[in-house]
Amino acid sequence: MKWIKSFGGPLILLPRDSIELWLGSYGPAGEDDWDEEDTEYWRISEAVKDFAEAVDVNGKEGLVLANGNSPTCFLESQSLFVQQLARGPEVDLVEGVVRALPSIQWQHSTEWVCEGPSLLFDSAMFGPNVRDGDGLAVNLNAGKYMIRCAYRQPDPSAGIFVALTILVPIS
């Protein structure tokens, strides 16, 4: 299973055909000396402080996961992002999360429109430089999704603490 994390800011999930339009923490032509407060990266970092939220990216919707500096994976069979906030020794994190799913009390929800196959990557990156290996492929059907989020300690005896974001199709 592939895990990714950012260099400190949020992760963003964008449709593959929108990645080229993402400027991240760079200027319009890829300048790295651009005023950070004028960047897309700054805009979403300020807008999404907790959990996950849909954001506008050049007329299309992206999904931002706030805990980007935490190792993150996508469980395709569950349509679930798992962000590891803390982990004890010798623990199968994914197995613990899957066991705990039926008892999760979701703390936050929002709607998001997915335009099909997407890539989750560090939102600071300059879109034209993003390659498949820089993120997690998320192959969802196009449509509207309910995004539900929670923080959870799936196994209190194991020292695991995670942020969960599940994508539930609406239409």
pLDDT of residue 155: 61
Taking Cα atoms as reference points, which of 28, 29, 69, 61 lies closest to residue 45?
69
* Eight-class DSSP state of 30: -
> What is the full per-residue pLDDT of the chain (171 aa) written as tens digits?
899 988 888 999 999 999 999 988 887 777 777 777 778 888 888 888 778 999 998 888 999 998 778 899 999 999 999 998 876 665 678 888 888 888 888 988 899 999 999 999 999 999 999 998 999 999 999 999 999 999 887 666 666 788 999 999 996
Residue 91, pLDDT score: 66
Phi, psi of 161 (to 5 degrees): -140, 130
Helix (H/G/I), strand (E/B), else coil: 128: helix
Strand partners, 57: 60
Beta bridge partners of 103: none
Other Cβ atoms less than 10 A from the Cβ of 23: the count is 21
| CA pseudo-torsion sign 33, 35, 40, 44 | positive
Q: What span, in angstroms and rounded, lies between the C-alpha atoms of 57 and 35?
A: 19
- Residue 108 has a pLDDT of 87
**Residue 68 structure tokens:** 């980007």
Residue 40 phi/psi, 5-degree rounding, is -65, -40
SS (HEC) of 75-116:
EHHHCEEEEEEECCCCCCHHHHHHHHHHHCCCCEEEEEEECC
Q: What is the pLDDT of residue 78?
A: 94
How far apart CA 8 and CA 60 sit, in angstroms, is 24
